[in-house]
Structure 1
C-alpha cells in the first residue's frame, strides 16, 4: 500500500520517555512528509541530522529530538519560519547555530542537559519567545540581546557557569520565573535583580 505523504501532518519516531528506541538515523523517506507540522524523534540513538533536513519542512510548528546523540543542529533550522516549539534536551550539543534566530515564530526553546558553551548573540531576534530552558549546560555568559525578549516569562539557567548577567537583563519585565541555582552570580547582583524584577520568582 502506497503512503500518501502529502496527507501526513506529523512524523513520529518515539519522543516518549517509556520508549526505548534504537534508531540511529532517519528513514530516507522522511523528506517526503512535506506537509507535517510536528516532527517527533525523541528517545532514540540518532547521531546525525542531514544538513538540509529542515529545508523540506516549511510547515513545521513543533520539533522534538530530545534524548538522542545529536551533536549539531543543522543550519537549515532557519527555514522553519512557523516553528513555535523546539525541544532538544539531552544531546551532546555545544553550540546553537545563528540560523535559529531566524525562527521568528519560536515561543518555547528547551535545550537542557546538553553541553552548550554558547548561544547565538542575536537571540533577541526571537521576539515571540516565552519559555527558554537551558539548565545543566556549560554557559559562562549570555548575549546582551537577551534583554529584547519582551515576552519571556520563564527562564531556567540552573547549573551553568554564569558569573554575571548582562545589563539588558533588567529589561525582562515579563519574567515570572527565573532559575539561577548552581551558578556563580554574586549576592549583590542577585539582590539588585530582585529589586529590578519584583514580580519575578527568582530561584538562587
Structure 2
C-alpha cells in the first residue's frame, strides 16, 4: 500500500528537551508493509517514507491496533460518511508522553520505587527488578510481550509461574539469589525452547533440574552456582549450543555420561565433592536373557524410532527419554553395568576453572555398559593403559 503525499518527519525526542521541531514538508511516498525483524525473527508492520534525497527510505515500526483504527477512520472518511459518525478525536496539542520515544528499558533496585498502582510500559524490552523482596513474579510483567531480558535477581521468589513461557521474545532470564527449589517442566516445554539463550539460576536451593530441561536447545550460557545440585540433567549433551557452564559449589558427586558430548568455551565446576573414580567399583544390573521390553526399548532408541504418549504409554516414553548410552554406542535402559571413569575436562571445554585447590582439571563421569562383553573390553583397555 503506497501513498504519494507531502510528509514532515517529527522528532519525538526533542520535546523532552524543551526544543521544537523545525521540520519542513517534503514530497514523499508513504508505504505500509511487513518487515522481518532479524533479531526476534518476527514480522512486524512498518511505515516507510521515501523521498528524493532518501530513495531507500526510512522505516518506522507501527503499532498494529493504532494503525488499524487510523486506517479504518480514513476509509470511512473516503466513503463520505457523516462527520459525526466517524470515530474521530478532537484536534488538540499532543501530550508529552504521547510524543516521547517508547520506553524500552527499566531498572528498579529498591522496594520503595516498585510501581504498585501503575502498569509497566508495554514497550519494555529489558526489565530489572532487584532487591525488592518479591516473593513471587508479578503477573503484570508477564504481559510484556516484547521483553527480551528479565532480571529478577536478589529477591525472595520461591516458584516460577508457567506463564513466563509465554514471553516469546525472552532471551535472558536472571534469577540469581532467590529461594527457588524447582525449575518447572512447563517452562522447558514452552516457547523458551526457541528464544532463551542466557539463564542464571545461581544462589538458589535447587537440587536438580528436570529431564525436560535439555529441551531448551538455544541455551548458550547456563549458571547454576551455589545451589544444592546433586546431579546435572541426564541428557545435557543435547544442549549443543551451550558454550558457558558454571555449576560451582554444589553437591555433585559425578557428571552424567552425556556430559562428554558438550563443546564449551568456559567451564567452572569448582567446589563440588567429586568422588574418586574406580573402574572396578561398579554396579551390575543385568538379566539373562534380557526382557522383551528392554530389547524393544533398546531397538527403538538405537534406530531412532519416533515415539510419543499417543503411540505408547507415557511411562515408557519417560524411560526412553533417560536411556543410557553404552561405551559401544548402543542404548541400554533398565539393565546395565555402571561405573565411573575420570575425564579431563579440557576434552569438553577450552577454558576450565580448577576443580579443587590442588590444581586438578579432572572429574568423574558416569559410564554405562550394555553387556558383560562391553564391560570386559573396557577393563582390558584400562589395564593396557596402566602398564
Shorter-chain-normalised TM-score: which range? Answer: 0.7 to 0.9
**Are the counterparts in 1 of residues 197 and 221 from structure 2 also a CA contact under 8 Å?**
yes
- Please report how far the alpha carbon of residue 85 of structure 1 lies from its aligned counterpart in structure 2 after TM superposition: 0.9
| d(CA) in 2 for partners of 1:190, 1:156 | 21
Q: Relative contact order (alpha carbons < 8 A, sep ≥ 6): 1 or 2 greater?
A: 1
Aligned residues: 195
Q: Unpaired runs of 5+ in structure 1?
A: 15-20
- Does residue 70 (structure 1) correspond to residue 157 (structure 2)? The answer is yes
What TM-score, normalized to structure 2?
Answer: 0.46
**Are the counterparts in 2 of residues 81 and 105 from structure 1 also a CA contact under 8 Å?**
yes
- Does residue 150 (structure 1) correspond to residue 240 (structure 2)? The answer is yes
**Equivalence for 2:360:** none
Helix, strand or coil at the partner of 1:78: helix
What TM-score, normalized to structure 1?
Answer: 0.83
| d(CA) in 2 for partners of 1:122, 1:85 | 19
| d(CA) in 2 for partners of 1:6, 1:55 | 22
Q: For 1:16-35, what aligned pairs fall within 5 Å after superposition?
A: 21-23=110-112, 27-30=116-119, 33-35=121-123
| d(CA) in 2 for partners of 1:72, 1:158 | 22
**Are the counterparts in 1 of residues 152 and 175 from structure 2 also a CA contact under 8 Å?**
yes
- Please report how far the alpha carbon of residue 40 of structure 1 lies from its aligned counterpart in structure 2 after TM superposition: 0.8
- Does residue 9 (structure 1) correspond to residue 9 (structure 2)? The answer is no
**Equivalence for 1:176:** 265
| d(CA) in 1 for partners of 2:129, 2:205 | 20
Pairing partner for 2:133 from 45, 64, 72: 45
Q: Unpaired runs of 5+ in structure 2?
A: 1-94, 278-339, 356-387
Bigger strand fraction:
2
**Are the counterparts in 1 of residues 180 and 205 from structure 2 also a CA contact under 8 Å?**
yes
- Please report how far the alpha carbon of residue 96 of structure 1 lies from its aligned counterpart in structure 2 after TM superposition: 1.2
**Are the counterparts in 2 of residues 23 and 46 from structure 1 also a CA contact under 8 Å?**
no
Q: For 1:74-153, what aligned pairs fall within 5 Å after superposition?
A: 74-101=161-188, 102=190, 103=192, 104-153=194-243
Pairing partner for 1:61 from 131, 148, 168: 148
